[in-house]
Structure 1
């Protein structure tokens, strides 16, 4: 049975696949623009890393210990595509994905995510057993084929307040509603959960997202260039 996350990825890579779907503005003038096709490629590679390298299966949990960032969104979409539960409250999980490799806990695997867009590997040494996302993800395929069909009745999100959202309600319960074709400004300062909820809602309505780091000066010129109406 297909789940909303898989259907969403199909839509993003097929409908207006070359149009921007996620644009990131970060520190030091960093700008990353992902079309529907490129976004799908990143998600597929990450899903394949989860499934083929980490032996992840539907129903398993991944703790996303990450700030609101374009790579964090990739990880959430990939986990949902596999049929996994994303843990946003720091609770128990099978896997940890973090930008802080000094994090502690007991996990089947820990993945270190370097946030700079051009990072080809983690800067410096990683603790033993950590997986370097930047260096590993590029070796995985651009197309994802699930080994096991995910369940729509499984949990997709455990929010920061502990509330759980099922896969079948990901786009109708967890996603924030937005107008058709919206070009949505999402503030990274509001946290990862809000970024995921708003991004899903924008894409579900055929829109696109601009995700901005708190340090970015959102000038009128920038907003006009990105077709954002108001702040």
Structure 2
């Protein structure tokens, strides 16, 4: 069964396979650019990690304790491909993805630590017992994602910070933000993960692409011109 998030990834994988779809500007002059094909590859590997190691299935809840970041978008997209619910408000979830594994409170079936630097091949330092190291594990998983169980369009896709819930069938109509066709959209990470997700989905479904900038990045005229962003 197909749901909008799956159809979106199919479009990004086929219709925009070599064009930039997600560009990240981070601290220390970090720049990461993902084409449609590379974005799909990261989503597939992450989704397979969820299925193969964590027995993820439709309607399971995945807590995203992450800032607005390119890896955060990957995790949300991977979860949605499997019909999972992403939880942004810190409420109950079976699985937790976090960049702060040492400060986790609450009980989870599994905790996954995400090192945010682009070149990180593993978590820098020791992890609490039982915590999974995303950077060390993700690359060993398959490049094609085939869900073990059919996701339900009537299942919840996201529980927002305001408590509002959006179903998978309405992810691209009720949750995503409207944007012009082919937009090259600047998103500031300071606005938070929920805004980054809504705006990215809105840009992608209209053939656009996203530039996501860390709060510490200076948005100079040179950067905006280089990324073909009109205004900000």
TM-score range, shorter chain: over 0.9
Structure 2 CA distance for aligned equivalents of residues 182 and 67 of structure 1 = 23
User: Could you tell me how far apart the structure 1 residues matched to 2:47 and 2:80 are?
Assistant: 9
Query: How many angstroms does 1:105 deviate by?
Result: 1.2
1:204-223 aligned within 5 A: 204-223=205-224
Partners of 1:215 and 1:228 lie apart in 2 by: 18
Provide the C-alpha distance between the structure 2 equivalents of 1:6 and 1:24, rounded to a whole number of angstroms: 23
Q: Distance in 2 between matches of 1:110 and 1:201?
A: 29
Kindly state the Cα deviation for residue 208 of structure 1 after the two structures are TM-superposed.
0.1
- Alignment partner, residue 167 of structure 1: 168
Separation in structure 1 between the aligned mates of residue 16 and residue 109 of structure 2, nearest angstrom: 38
**Could you say what secondary structure the match of 1:106 adopts?**
coil
Distance 1:93 1:85 in 2: 9
The one-character-per-residue Cα deviations of 1:148-195 (angstroms, maximum 9, x if unpaired) are 000000000000011000000000000000000000000000000000
Per-residue deviation, residues 110-153 of structure 1 (Å, max 9, x unmatched): 00000000000000000000000000000000000111000000
Q: Secondary structure at the match of 1:33?
A: strand
Give the total of aligned pairs: 231
In the aligned structure 2, how far is the partner of 1:179 from the partner of 1:173? Answer: 16
Could you tell me how far apart the structure 1 residues matched to 2:14 and 2:165 are?
Answer: 30
Shift of 1:104: 1.3
Deviation (angstroms), 1:16: 2.1
Aligned counterparts of 1:109 and 1:3: Cα–Cα separation in 2: 26
- TM-score, with normalisation over the residues of structure 1? 1.00
2:28 counterpart residue number: 28
Query: What is the rounded CA distance, in whole Å, between the counterparts of 2:52 and 2:211 in structure 1?
Result: 31
Residue ranges of structure 1 left out of the alignment (5+ in a row): none
Query: Is the counterpart of residue 7 in structure 1 residue 7 in structure 2?
Result: yes
Partner SS, residue 197 of structure 1: helix
Residue 106 of structure 1 corresponds to: 107
Cα separation, 1, equivalents of 2:43 and 2:122: 18
TM alignment of 1:80-229, pairs within 5 A: 80-102=80-102, 103-229=104-230
Runs of 4 or more above 4 Å deviation: none
Root-mean-square deviation (CA), in Å? Answer: 0.4
Scaled by the length of structure 2, what TM-score is found? Answer: 0.99
Residue matched to 2:57? 57
Distance 2:110 2:101 in 1: 12
CA–CA distance in structure 1, aligned partners of residues 95 and 172 of structure 2:
24
Q: Distance in 2 between matches of 1:111 and 1:147?
A: 21
- Aligned with 1:45: secondary structure? helix
CA distance, structure 2, for counterparts of residue 81 and residue 135 of structure 1: 22
In structure 2, C-alpha distance between the alignment counterparts of 1:62 and 1:3, rounded to whole Å: 18
